Amino acid sequence: MNAVTLTRLAARDRLRHYALRNASLLLSYLVLATMGLYYVAYAGSHGQLSVFSVTSIFNNTMPLLIAAIGQTFVVLTGGIDLSVGSIISLTNSVAAVYMRDSLGGILAWSGLILLLGGVAGAVNGILVAVGRIQPILVTLASLSIWAGVALFVLPQPGGAIPPGFTAVLAGNAWSVIPASAVTLGVLIVFWMVFRRTELAVSLYAVGDDERSARANGVPVVWAKVAAYTLSGLFSALAGLYLSAVTTSGDATTGAIYTLTSIAAVVLGGVSLFGGRGSATGSMAGAFVLTLIVNILFFANVNPLLQEFFQGLVLILAMAASVLVNLFFGRST
Amino acid sequence: MPHIEAVDVSKSFGGVHALQGASFGASRGEVHALVGENGAGKSTLIKILSGLLRLDRGQLRLDGQDVRIDRPVAAERLGIGTVFQELTLLPHMTVAENLLLRREPRGRFGLIRPRELTRRAAQQLRDLGLGEISVDAIVSALPLAQRQLVEVAKVVSRDPAILLLDEPTSALAEREVAWLFDLIRRLRDQGRTIVFTSHRWNEVRDISDQITIFRNGQRVGTFGAADIDESRAVELMTGRHVSAIFPPLPPLGPATPVLEVRGLASGRVHEVDFTLHRGEILGIGGLQGQGQRDLFFALFGAQRLRGGVIAIQGHPVAIRHPRDAIRAGVGIALVPEDRKSEGLLLPMSVRQNMTLPVLAGLSRMGYVDLRRETQTVGRMIQQLRIRTPGPDQVVGALSGGNQQKVLIGRWLLAEARILLLYDVTRGVDVATKHDIYDLVMTLRAEGRAILYYSSDTAEMAHLCHRVLVMREGRVVTELRNPEITADALVRASLRLGGGISA
């Protein structure tokens, strides 16, 4: 065998291993591509495809997508974050009550809100990693706490979000490109860079096998605290985005994001046992969940059945993921 | 002055004293074996020296200097590398990511360089003579033996001055053991210190300069490798005199076929034929991973058959599920090597584990007759010499060998006539091994038929009436009793029979 053949064999070997390892992730891309094409074809043939409709899909997806990235950090460590929805509600309420239409005010309050989310996440992380309490208990408790605080901040839906804030996050650049699409690009780049940091390796290691990670000197406590902190930070960012998109405040508006962020993560092929998956999959999952709603809307399906179909898609996607893994001969 | 030293070290878990004032020292440039029964404290000592466990009392020294090793990172900084019995590889990461975990090559902004990572890992494997392992493979997809090799490679590539190996050979076949020992000798000749544990006396004798024997959490003695033989060592380990390592094997009576297998194909097994007789111990030999496991699991219905016929006393039977194997009229039972995942319910009691398949027989109108259950289980515990405080002890708390006995006991209660014993003595201490050998002989004498596989060649040589040597999923040679020696087995396993080997 000559060197070229060997290199080619090695490349094929690498490709095979990659496909095996990322079967669920690739499947989520495939599902998204199929749904995206279907949507474009359907909307196009009905004259519904416009800058506006595409922008609105991006805008509607963005809060969920950001929350799903946050959820991914935690799920990768083998944990779960139920407080995502409450932190979104809280940050949305705070933004609606306090944010005023001045550049300084917007920047200061955005920074404060992100800090708030980060601190809320860090508290979760410390209780889980240092206090050794089950993630589901810790975050269930903080879910209630932050939901309560949100209602205290904004007892009635209302308040207002500065139009400038909305224009920047949910508008269009050069009146064509959705600002949300730019944000999405930034988030993808962020993830690709993050994936190559020491912290990312630690997150995957902890979720894969905590005992082994510890024996290899991986800073387990730090990794977990960082994961929950990032989750809180991203939840706050999702809350800001939601504020920009909805332009008003509601202390209960975030509640659905707890479960939908988990659904997006699962649809994206991230293992709930930890250690496997990618935030880009979760992003795809978030888009799939939004597109389902749009497609159902186009198809004139009773809106009351929306959640039913969302659940159905979730189950089908999971079944497909199991089948793909079986097909590749290894579900471990 | 010892290179690494533990002085008067004690460690307890709950009420159990794993180490009680044990001392141990290994000098620079020597291979030092730690031997003793399971629970003697060897693994605990290794875990303390490597920072995975903190000692309760005592002192650790490096070159005569007091040191604290309270975390794995602390041990690493002091130049101590450890290959643990339970591997510390991350199952869903690639071989390359595991090899260079926390030492990934960095580029600009401190970001990891994935290609460089793969390249460097592949180089490391080649340097150690492990080039055939793909660095892109996911660890969980590798066979156990290769995972063990990767673990060794990972630790050695960190260039430790002191290398601790806890049972590094239990998952390895002869060829890989030879590779490991080669490596150990090279490291020793570079002036490194190697401490290792093993249950296989041949290995201890072959590789070590010094041997320290542990019993009940204390050191019994340290000997030059030339100054102690196996029977003396076993005596010191067990605290009692053990007459012979292997019990005598009575010749087979009139040959009554019990199990006939024709053209069996499953997984890696192709076209295997054999007949197992009443009272016979039939060994399935060969290098590790030649399809032996598939054969055992297929006969038990735990793996799908591709073809072939299985007949019990002349009647063909369909075995598609373990239920089919253990039902009356068939009576095939499997005792696998990995009890944790394949057979026992660790959080449940000895009693519950044993009577699980026969509860119906012990029940009256749906209620378990507790008295009868207790009697039955008690009888079994006595007969099998299971070392347990009582029938209600949680199985997970028993030593590995005794867990094996519980599983064997379950199948005896279920009246299995054909026992498939797959590497049942792996990682089991000497005294319990002895019990298991005796037990196998008793089962045989009762007229049960036994299919036996062991990664320990000496066992195959001494326990079996016949051995079928497998290679690449086929039976290539059959050896009969007087001609079965460890030497003959190894030669038969390695002989090139044409075909794919290159």
User: Among all chains, which residue has been given the structure tokens 């007892």?
Assistant: A155
Please answer yes or no on whether A205 and B52 come within 8 Å at the CB atom.
Answer: no
Please answer yes or no on whether A275 and B76 come within 8 Å at the CB atom.
Answer: no
Given B209, B238, B267, which residue is the final one in a domain?
B238
Asked whether residue B250 is domain-assigned, the answer is: no
Say if residues B335 and B346 touch (Cβ distance below 8 Å).
no
Handedness of CA B15, B21, B22, B25 (dihedral sign): positive
Asked whether residue B499 is domain-assigned, the answer is: no
Residues 6+ apart with CB under 8 A from A258: A82, A83, A84, A85, A86, A143
Query: pLDDT grade, residue A80 (50/70/90)?
Result: very high
Angle (CA) A151 A157 A163, round 5°: 120
- How distant is the Cα of B3 from the closest Cα of chain A, in angstroms? 23
Residues counted in chain A: 332
Residues B226 and B268 in one domain: no
A21's tokens: 């390892």
Find, among A118, A45, A125, the residue nearest to A81 by Cα.
Answer: A125
Please answer yes or no on whether B138 and A20 come within 8 Å at the CB atom.
Answer: yes
Q: Which residues on adjacent β-strands are paired with residue B470?
A: B475
Asked whether residue B450 is domain-assigned, the answer is: yes
Query: pLDDT grade, residue A5 (50/70/90)?
Result: low
Does B388 score more than 70 pLDDT?
A: yes
Residues B214 and B261 in one domain: no
Residues B283 and B220 in one domain: no
Does A328 score more than 70 pLDDT?
A: no
Residues B313 and B407 in one domain: yes
pLDDT of residue A4: 65
Residues B91 and B197 in one domain: yes
User: Which site among B102, B117, B125 would you substitute to test the A interface, given the most A Cβ atoms closer than 10 Å to its Cβ?
Assistant: B102
Please answer yes or no on whether A14 and B136 come within 8 Å at the CB atom.
Answer: yes
Query: pLDDT grade, residue B392 (50/70/90)?
Result: confident
Q: Where does residue B315 rank: exposed (0-12), middle (13-18), buried (19+ CB within 10 A)?
A: exposed
- How distant is the Cα of B478 from the closest Cα of chain A, in angstroms? 33
Residues B84 and B192 in one domain: yes
Q: What is the average pLDDT score of chain B?
A: 86
Residues of B in contact with A198 (CB under 8 A): 102, 104, 110, 112
Residues B99 and B231 in one domain: yes
Phi, psi of B471, deg, nearest 5: -145, 130
The per-residue pLDDT for range B448-474, each reduced to its tens digit, is 999 999 877 788 888 999 999 998 889
How far is Cα B326 from Cα B477, in angstroms, rounded to an integer?
30
Q: What is the identity of the amino acid at A140?
A: L
Say if residues B463 and B282 touch (Cβ distance below 8 Å).
no
> CB-CB: which of A13, A213, A214 is closest to B134?
A13
Rounded to 5, what percent of chain B is helix, strand, coil? 35, 25, 40
A162's tokens: 């500065």
Q: The domain spanning residue B113 has which CATH number? A: 3.40.50.300
User: Which site among A9, A16, A212 would you substitute to test the B interface, given the most B Cβ atoms closer than 10 Å to its Cβ?
Assistant: A212
Asked whether residue B246 is domain-assigned, the answer is: no
How far is Cα B215 from Cα B38, in angstroms, rounded to an integer?
9
pLDDT of residue B55: 92
Q: How many CB pairs under 8 A join A and B?
A: 80
Number of domains in chain B: 2
State the Rg of chain B over Cα. Answer: 24
The per-residue pLDDT for range A137-150, each reduced to its tens digit, is 999 999 999 999 99
Please answer yes or no on whether A204 and B93 come within 8 Å at the CB atom.
Answer: yes
- How distant is the Cα of A111 from the closest Cα of chain B, in angstroms? 25
How far is Cα A9 from Cα A3, in angstroms, rounded to an integer?
10
Q: Where does residue A180 rank: exposed (0-12), middle (13-18), buried (19+ CB within 10 A)?
A: buried
The per-residue pLDDT for range A288-320, each reduced to its tens digit, is 999 888 888 877 888 888 888 878 877 887 788
Please answer yes or no on whether A276 and B92 come within 8 Å at the CB atom.
Answer: yes
- How distant is the Cα of A196 from the closest Cα of chain B, in angstroms? 5
Please answer yes or no on whether A216 and B88 come within 8 Å at the CB atom.
Answer: yes
Does B170 score more than 60 pLDDT?
A: yes
* Full residue range of the structural domain in which residue B97 is found: 4-238
Which whole number is the average pLDDT over B323-345? 77
B406's tokens: 């519980």
How far is Cα A218 from Cα B322, in angstroms, rounded to an integer?
41
- How distant is the Cα of B112 from the closest Cα of chain A, in angstroms? 5
Domains of chain A, with CATH numbers?
Answer: 51-321 (1.10.3470)
Please answer yes or no on whether A205 and B89 come within 8 Å at the CB atom.
Answer: no
Say if residues A178 and A58 touch (Cβ distance below 8 Å).
yes
Given B188, B208, B238, which residue is the final one in a domain?
B238
> CB-CB: which of B73, B90, B134 is closest to A212?
B90
List the single range of A5-19, A35-49, B176-190, B217-231 with lowest mean pLDDT. Answer: A5-19
> CB-CB: which of B84, B101, B114 is closest to A205?
B101
Angle between helix axes A3-21 and A23-45 (nearest 10 degrees) is: 70
pLDDT of residue B340: 60
Residues B176 and B286 in one domain: no
Asked whether residue B248 is domain-assigned, the answer is: no
- How distant is the Cα of A71 from the closest Cα of chain B, in angstroms? 20
> CB-CB: which of B73, B93, B110 is closest to A217?
B73
A331's tokens: 């579900």
Residues B349 and B203 in one domain: no
Find, among B414, B413, B448, the residue nearest to B325 by Cα.
Answer: B414
Phi, psi of B113, deg, nearest 5: -105, 100
Interface of A with B (CB under 8 A): 13-14, 17-18, 20-21, 193, 196-198, 201, 204-205, 208-209, 211-218, 275-276, 330, 332
Residues B186 and B229 in one domain: yes
- How distant is the Cα of B86 from the closest Cα of chain A, in angstroms? 9
Asked whether residue B21 is domain-assigned, the answer is: yes
pLDDT of residue A255: 92
B493's tokens: 């396993």
Q: What is the average pLDDT score of chain A?
A: 89
Asked whether residue B35 is domain-assigned, the answer is: yes
Given B211, B238, B265, which residue is the final one in a domain?
B238
**Helix/strand/coil for B261:** strand
B352's tokens: 């519950």
Residues B211 and B290 in one domain: no
Residues of A in contact with B112 (CB under 8 A): 196-198, 201
Q: Where are the alpha helices (DSSP H) in A99-134?
A: 103-129
Residue of chain A nearest B110, judged by CA positions: A197
Angle between helix axes A198-208 and A51-76 (nearest 10 degrees) is: 60
User: Among all chains, which residue has been given the structure tokens 């090695």?
Assistant: A10
Residues B228 and B292 in one domain: no
User: Among all chains, which residue has been given the structure tokens 């970001």?
Assistant: B111
